[in-house]
Structure 1
């Protein structure tokens, strides 16, 4: 049998057109998302323009959420995962628990108080751990089985609704774990189960959280209209409740308002994006200064981090670095959220043409929570781009980060 590789018949432009169409984007929309025109994308796809440089290819990959760079370039000799991590050692056990169907009564459900306390400890451990998937991956299988058993064994309608709220929260935790793992459809199944359980609970706080996570899943898949539909409908549902709502419900409304702003920013709608950010900031100011939402991380301290992301998504280089300089990472009481903020700051500096500062900021993120950097597609894109930099010092720093995080696969 011949061992010769079959030549790839598709050129870059054809691959780009296929991947763009799969995402449901027009040429004008894709051009806007990468800071170019629709006619420029059209010229690339038709072959009138040659394959762009690596930094542009990586930008396409980021916008189109391409998990394997070779899917866009066609070069199978250099493989690099962008938006899927290497697969956590505990992922198989978590996936098995999510996929297992249990209909019998063989497992005795824990008490509601016990399950609630375990969930609280899981969220607390996640925020304190530099490698949070190690922690929650160990807890999730039993939490999934026990929360499902609690729903099945509920004795009254009220008990069942409360149990559905706890089950939904377990699915929220699972969605954090499964993000960027090598099974994208599983993330959607978990998100849908969380939404169904939340609606069955009839609890506004739980429904808001399910919508918050579903919105992110839609936006990360470039389904911006679907993201808006979920966000805005849920905000309409929550708005009449806010005058008498507790801090948790107000925080979820604030987090959803941020999501509306980020979706607008992804579209390039500057005024709308900042208007939503202002509304979210006003909601944050109604919360106690020490308040921190355990699922969304919404609090007063995180609003600066959100401002950085809004500016970056708008491709506003100067504004993004201004916001990055103002936002204090150490005030955020969560290691993975602090690391994510550092990544957003790195995106801002990279966008503004400061790659050395971007790499240094990613190194800070790595010190805070290395797993967050390892599984973050934006961080991976910056590092991969800087591996091709002209300056040897930048290449060396990018190579060191890449080696520490295991970003390249062969």
Structure 2
């Protein structure tokens, strides 16, 4: 081996411990917090970081990676042959056709009548409705997206009048937004970024406040989920769009007020990821006030922002702040049944399960993930946090918990039947 080659942390405990310490300190996490997440003492963390112990088994390595929000297992192990993205799910069977539609160039002068914007809006509304109501929501929207993408691109290309062109751009931006929901947590990050950026460009061309807000909301999430180095970018684009929308709010439609509320909560979400408790709850409180200005029955078709979602958002803030007790307390207050969207309800159940796991209630975590699966199997199948909890409990020493986790692992495709 070359003298400057990366040492194998499994052969050298100190190398593994150094990586673990660097990643922990980058997150601003104390040894006490990391130990609490792992069910270990401060001394255990300290001894591991200083190379006084042999590196743990793969199950604990996986748990450490999850606690430190390491996206790729090789970042922790230093082994390029252990290249596992912890937040990427399996590729959907319809991924190839969606990718082909995104990558297709409309070159030359098309023949035939242009797609009507009103018709595209109606198809888009049906697609959003299918996403919220169907347990196999990825499959449903994956079937609709290829034609929607091509027709929306064509509508922009064939638009004659400026107002018609801007309206077509607004529809195209939202079609790309719908595509991001399909592409999230799938093994094609570059395609997700292409779609996010195209959505933002189309929204800006449309000069439509709602389209701009939706595209920003998703682009900010893409930045935040890429890791701590991109938190500032997420904050910047969120704040810029809020600065643009705020003067419009006194006379805004419910949809524009809702997207401003959703962006406000996103700022709190990013603050929670940073560990900034005060800002996280401050933004949540402001967003809650904005939700209360909306009709009680209102539900935003893209972001789910509404009065019904604020309880779920509170659980997310507590979980991201790694407060197990507060997560469970907020989960007890939040009513999942009032969330009309099946995938959003499933995601809320996953966040609740994360809270139970933080609070060392693994039985409740597995039971709650089973509820998530019942609501929307395709949500839990592609969610890295849910997959991590299930895999952890598959190794449980408690027979009944191990059995239930294994049954769930089979259902979500983590283990063979």
- In the comparison of the two structures, how many residue pairs are matched? 399
Query: 8 Å contact 2:21–2:49 — kept in the other structure?
Result: no
CA distance in 1, matches of 2:19, 2:194: 25
Query: 8 Å contact 2:331–2:352 — kept in the other structure?
Result: yes
CA-CA distance at 1:78 after TM superposition: 9.1
Which one scores higher on RCO, CA 8 angstroms, separation ≥ 6? 1
CA-CA distance at 1:99 after TM superposition: 1.1
CA-CA distance at 1:361 after TM superposition: 0.3
CA-CA distance at 1:201 after TM superposition: 0.7
Q: In the alignment, what sits opposite 1:88?
A: 92
Q: Which runs of 5+ in 2 are unaligned?
A: 1-5, 36-41
2:172 to 167, 175, 192: 167
Q: In the alignment, what sits opposite 1:355?
A: 362
* CA displacement 1:131-151 (0-9 Å, x = unmatched): 101100000000010000000
CA-CA distance at 1:249 after TM superposition: 0.5
Q: In the alignment, what sits opposite 1:106?
A: 110
Is 1:218 the counterpart of 2:223? The answer is: yes
CA-CA distance at 1:17 after TM superposition: 7.0
Residue 27 of structure 2 aligns to a residue in which SS? Answer: helix
Q: Which runs of 5+ in 1 are unaligned?
A: 1-7
1:301-320 matches, within 5 Å, as 301-320=308-327
1:127 to 132, 149, 159: 132
Give TM-score, length-normalised by structure 2.
0.88
CA-CA distance at 1:395 after TM superposition: 1.2
Q: In the alignment, what sits opposite 1:3?
A: none
Give TM-score, length-normalised by structure 1.
0.89
Q: In the alignment, what sits opposite 1:323?
A: 330
| Structure 1 residues 110 and 402: alpha-carbon distance in aligned structure 2, compared to 1, 3 A threshold | same
2:274 to 264, 267, 271: 267
CA-CA distance at 1:58 after TM superposition: 2.6
CA distance in 2, matches of 1:151, 1:288: 34
CA-CA distance at 1:65 after TM superposition: 4.8
CA-CA distance at 1:56 after TM superposition: 5.9
* CA displacement 1:323-374 (0-9 Å, x = unmatched): 0011111100100000000001101111101000000000011011011000
Query: 8 Å contact 1:19–1:64 — kept in the other structure?
Result: no
1:191 to 196, 200, 214: 196
1:401 to 397, 402, 408: 408
CA-CA distance at 1:268 after TM superposition: 1.1
| Structure 1 residues 99 and 392: alpha-carbon distance in aligned structure 2, compared to 1, 3 A threshold | same
- Cα root mean square deviation, aligned: 2.9
CA-CA distance at 1:303 after TM superposition: 0.3
